[in-house]
Structure 1
Amino acid sequence: MYKYNVSKYQTFFVVGLSYQKADAETRGKFSLGIDQRKSLLDKAESIGLDAITVTSTCNRTEIYAFADDANTLVDLLCEFSIGDQDLFKKVGYVRENETAVSHMFRVGCGLDSQILGDFEIISQIKTAFTISKNRNLINPFLERLVNSVIRSSRRIKNETEMSSGVTSVSFASVQYILDHIENVSEKNILLFGTGKIGRNTCENLVKHTSNKHITLINRTKDKAEEVAGKFNLTVKDYSELQAEIRQTDILIVATGAQQPTITNEIIFPKKPLLILDLSIPKNVSEDVVKIDDVTLLHLDYLSQMTDQTLSKRKKFIPDAELIIEEERDEFYEWLDTRKFAPTIKALKDKFKAFQAEELDYQSRKVKGFDKEQAEVFSDRLIHKITRSFASHLRAANGSTEDSVALLKKVFELEMQEKSK
């Protein structure tokens, strides 16, 4: 087991839950909006945590952090969501150290996604990282790990066909419509919510249905108008939602609200109505199915739709895992290097002190001595020497401690380090 020595807490954890054990309703209870995540980070800092990042998507909510006890992180998750410890014990997971590192690689590279090869999660990880870094809650370990995961994801996307084909929740919803609705180009389609999933769904609708009767509604109208402008679609005010639902054949809900926005009180269909809820937490009340001629499908059902694209993607899992293994090994090599980084720094400082003494001596002794050029030359020499020592220590394996001890003794680095 690695002793990380990058935090006052020695254990690196991931605590979270995902689609694998938690259904959409349960995931909704632990979902964390952007404000909730920021508040969680503020609380984490106030209790002394020094490295933590939080992701929350439609398929998972996870906290990666250094702590003494995983329960500290579970408590934070429950405090800022509407989930509780008992429910977390049933559906959540806790992983630590190397297992937590491997988990982040698989998640960030799309191997643990509900739709294999879905790389949307990596942008979520980047966003979470930025939020934490802006609060000074990222240490060198977490920064290096996130960058390694991002690099792995990029390599898998570029070097394999893991992300080939168009397979996503937004496309799956359109595929369902194409498979189950006759004369879809003549149907009235209402899209409520123009966030990322809404925009992607809108694009797929325009591309694959040839429908000219698509209407957009968003609480913030200008955002809907921005999306509609790209495709020459109709935009209505949020106040017209109920009237528009009455006229539509297909309602697609992709809002980010924490409570249902579509309830049976606002649905009075004049004809059969198909509702696709792509939101987490659910934004359509389950009781709408009691209304005659209303069919409701949620994101979980759509996410389970498989096609030839997914079958092809599975063939590239071994290639993706090989890339992850390479990047993970590189990460651990860097981590090993950090163990003797203080020794290398002390050694370099010692050489710089020698350099300063010698340059001062030569400038006084030698007439016309080019101190600036000599400094450039000696800097390069110091760099090459310290790099050679670092390479030796990396390759020393079991004898690393003996080598470090010898360097400290020969160059009196113990005294050098203590004086800082």
Structure 2
Amino acid sequence: MRDYHISKHNSFYAVGLSYKKADAEVRGKFSLDVPAIDHILGKAKEIGIDGLLAISTCNRTELYGFAQHPYQLIKLLCDETNGTVEEFQEVAYVYKNHDAISHMFKVGTGLDSQILGDFEIISQIKQGFYRSKKQEMANPFLERLCNSVIQASKRIKNETELSSGATSVAFASVKYILDNVDDISNKNILLFGTGKIGRNTCENLVKHSNNSHITLINRTREKAEDIAGKFQLTVKDYGDLQTEIRKTDILVVATGAQLPTVSKALIYPKKPLLILDLSVPKNVSDDVKELDNVTLVHLDELSQITDETLAKRKEYVPKAEAIIEKVKKDFLKWLETRKFAPVINALKDKLNMMKAEEIDFQTKKIEGFDQIQAEIISDRIIQKITKQFANHLKSNEVDTDDSLELIQKVFQLELHSK
């Protein structure tokens, strides 16, 4: 497979880490919030990187961009996070050119998700692209690539059942509670944090447990009240967190904080308590494990819960891969065309110049020379010649770079566009 370059000096790279090799603690060190992403994009612009996209979720942090060497991107990430280059290299992956393109398709369509078919990631790619565009770090290549990945994701959603059935972190957490807690409808449940996972968990809890003893706490009370209103749940102030934790039987932590928000000091040590930490970085401090009355389960363990839904989803993987191949092929065709368009345009200009000179010469030489007919015939011949060259360059059997160089030499072309 040929490498696809946008410029002669830079290659397209995907560098990152995910749940596959990095545990929650390591992923936490490399997680990026919106200000950090904006800062990375700004720094990349300063050092002359042309085009960069950053995504960071609880399962992965990745940079997609153009560089002379992937270390430029790795350094940008490590400088902005709490992780070191050494730690990153232990768990990281680096993909180049065609492999980087394939990787983004796999990620964006849920085939690389911790829970197969989880399409949450596509909204992260959309948001990442929006941030890049805002910072003027989204070139036509990245725009076309992101749009192609979004298109593949939509088609897989509509044409396969890869994302059918309730299989998400929120569902897995509720499944864990239902499987491990007796008499759930009489237990007190406290949900701390009302981000996306928190909201989905809340909805699933209400749906599957018939439990009206659910209390919500969020740093911003209004957000908790919005959700509580939908399900007639109780809302308490952030200042009541310790009191409520001591009253509850099940604590679900889904905050987006960069440091732990629940520590051993907040917990009453004489009452059984199940804690589910659905946050990356971890939002429940490790010292909680020292308490005998506490069972602490983290997102990574929950994500390993597999059921018939996942087994069923696997059947649709080949169909999803076929859709990806089709959309990716169209993208690569566009990319190749974009690569040789300047040469074809310059060739057309050169042939038109030859045509104009020749018609001018013949008009002066031949009496009654039909300039209009000569223009029509010449234009058709130029069209056919340039089409022949374009078809030659599109062929998989030829080395495009060598051919482009030869055409430029033979016709002594001057390229004006980038």
Indicate the TM-score class for this superposition, using the shorter chain for normalisation. Answer: 0.7 to 0.9
Residue 147 of structure 1: CA displacement?
1.3
* Cα distance between partner residues in 2 of 1:111 and 1:264: 38
Q: After the TM superposition, which residues 26-175 of structure 1 pair with which residues of structure 2 at under 5 Å, given as runs?
A: 26-175=26-175
Q: After the TM superposition, which residues 259-408 of structure 1 pair with which residues of structure 2 at under 5 Å, given as runs?
A: 259-269=259-269, 271-346=271-346, 392=391, 395-397=394-396, 398=398
Question: How many residues are matched?
Answer: 397
Listed one character per residue, the Cα deviations across residues 178-224 of structure 1 (whole Å, up to 9, x for unaligned) are 11111111111100000111111111111111111111111111111
Residue 90 of structure 1: CA displacement?
1.2
Residues 402 and 275 (structure 1), Cα distance of their counterparts in 2 relative to 1, 3 Å cut: closer
Does the 8 A contact of 1:343 with 1:413 survive in 2? no
* Cα distance between partner residues in 1 of 2:222 and 2:9: 46
* Cα distance between partner residues in 1 of 2:81 and 2:189: 33
Does the 8 A contact of 2:270 with 2:293 survive in 1? no
Q: Percent identity?
A: 60
Does the 8 A contact of 2:54 with 2:64 survive in 1? yes
Letter in structure 1 aligned against 2:324: I
**Matching residue of 1:17:** 17
Residues 387 and 240 (structure 1), Cα distance of their counterparts in 2 relative to 1, 3 Å cut: farther
Given the two structures, how large is their TM-score scaled by the length of structure 1?
0.86
**Matching residue of 2:413:** 414
**Matching residue of 2:227:** 227
Does the 8 A contact of 1:185 with 1:209 survive in 2? yes
SS of the residue aligned with 1:17?
A: strand
* Cα distance between partner residues in 1 of 2:42 and 2:273: 44
Does the 8 A contact of 1:156 with 1:320 survive in 2? yes
Residue 343 of structure 1: CA displacement?
3.5
Letter in structure 2 aligned against 1:321: E
Relative to structure 2, which stretch is displaced further, 234-243 or 388-397?
388-397
SS of the residue aligned with 2:326?
A: helix
Does the 8 A contact of 1:58 with 1:280 survive in 2? yes
Does the 8 A contact of 1:3 with 1:10 survive in 2? no
Residues 279 and 347 (structure 1), Cα distance of their counterparts in 2 relative to 1, 3 Å cut: same
Does the 8 A contact of 2:344 with 2:390 survive in 1? no
Listed one character per residue, the Cα deviations across residues 235-272 of structure 1 (whole Å, up to 9, x for unaligned) are 11100000000111100000010100000111115521
Residue 414 of structure 1: CA displacement?
2.8
* Cα distance between partner residues in 2 of 1:153 and 1:201: 24
SS of the residue aligned with 1:340?
A: helix
SS of the residue aligned with 2:53?
A: strand
SS of the residue aligned with 1:20?
A: coil
* Cα distance between partner residues in 1 of 2:221 and 2:385: 60
Residue 337 of structure 1: CA displacement?
0.8
Residue 350 of structure 1: CA displacement?
7.8
Listed one character per residue, the Cα deviations across residues 158-193 of structure 1 (whole Å, up to 9, x for unaligned) are 111111100000110001111111111111110000
* Cα distance between partner residues in 2 of 1:70 and 1:81: 17
Residue 133 of structure 1: CA displacement?
1.1
**Matching residue of 1:252:** 252
SS of the residue aligned with 2:54?
A: strand
Residue 351 of structure 1: CA displacement?
9.8
Residue 150 of structure 1: CA displacement?
1.1
* Cα distance between partner residues in 1 of 2:62 and 2:417: 42
SS of the residue aligned with 1:87?
A: helix
* Cα distance between partner residues in 1 of 2:140 and 2:192: 42
Does the 8 A contact of 1:347 with 1:413 survive in 2? no
- Long gaps (5+) in structure 2: 357-379
- Long gaps (5+) in structure 1: 357-380
Does the 8 A contact of 1:6 with 1:139 survive in 2? no
SS of the residue aligned with 2:276?
A: strand
Residue 227 of structure 1: CA displacement?
1.3
Letter in structure 2 aligned against 1:414: L
**Matching residue of 2:199:** 199
Give the RMSD, CA atoms, in angstroms: 3.1
Residue 348 of structure 1: CA displacement?
6.9
* Cα distance between partner residues in 2 of 1:281 and 1:154: 30
Residue 157 of structure 1: CA displacement?
1.1
Does the 8 A contact of 1:344 with 1:389 survive in 2? no
Does the 8 A contact of 2:28 with 2:281 survive in 1? yes
**Matching residue of 1:368:** none
Letter in structure 2 aligned against 1:83: G
Relative to structure 2, which stretch is displaced further, 293-302 or 102-111?
102-111
Residue 282 of structure 1: CA displacement?
0.1
Does the 8 A contact of 2:3 with 2:98 survive in 1? no
Residues 74 and 385 (structure 1), Cα distance of their counterparts in 2 relative to 1, 3 Å cut: same
* Cα distance between partner residues in 2 of 1:81 and 1:399: 41
* Cα distance between partner residues in 2 of 1:227 and 1:79: 37
Listed one character per residue, the Cα deviations across residues 274-326 of structure 1 (whole Å, up to 9, x for unaligned) are 00000000000111122231110000000000000000011111111111111
Letter in structure 1 aligned against 2:310: L
Does the 8 A contact of 1:2 with 1:97 survive in 2? no
Does the 8 A contact of 1:7 with 1:51 survive in 2? no
SS of the residue aligned with 2:413?
A: helix
**Matching residue of 2:240:** 240
Residues 225 and 329 (structure 1), Cα distance of their counterparts in 2 relative to 1, 3 Å cut: same
**Matching residue of 1:186:** 186
Given the two structures, how large is their TM-score scaled by the length of structure 2?
0.86
Letter in structure 1 aligned against 2:279: S
Does the 8 A contact of 1:17 with 1:60 survive in 2? yes
**Matching residue of 1:367:** none
Residues 52 and 2 (structure 1), Cα distance of their counterparts in 2 relative to 1, 3 Å cut: farther
Letter in structure 2 aligned against 1:329: K
Residues 183 and 255 (structure 1), Cα distance of their counterparts in 2 relative to 1, 3 Å cut: same
Residue 69 of structure 1: CA displacement?
1.1
Residues 240 and 336 (structure 1), Cα distance of their counterparts in 2 relative to 1, 3 Å cut: same
* Cα distance between partner residues in 1 of 2:184 and 2:20: 33
Letter in structure 2 aligned against 1:276: L
Residue 12 of structure 1: CA displacement?
1.0
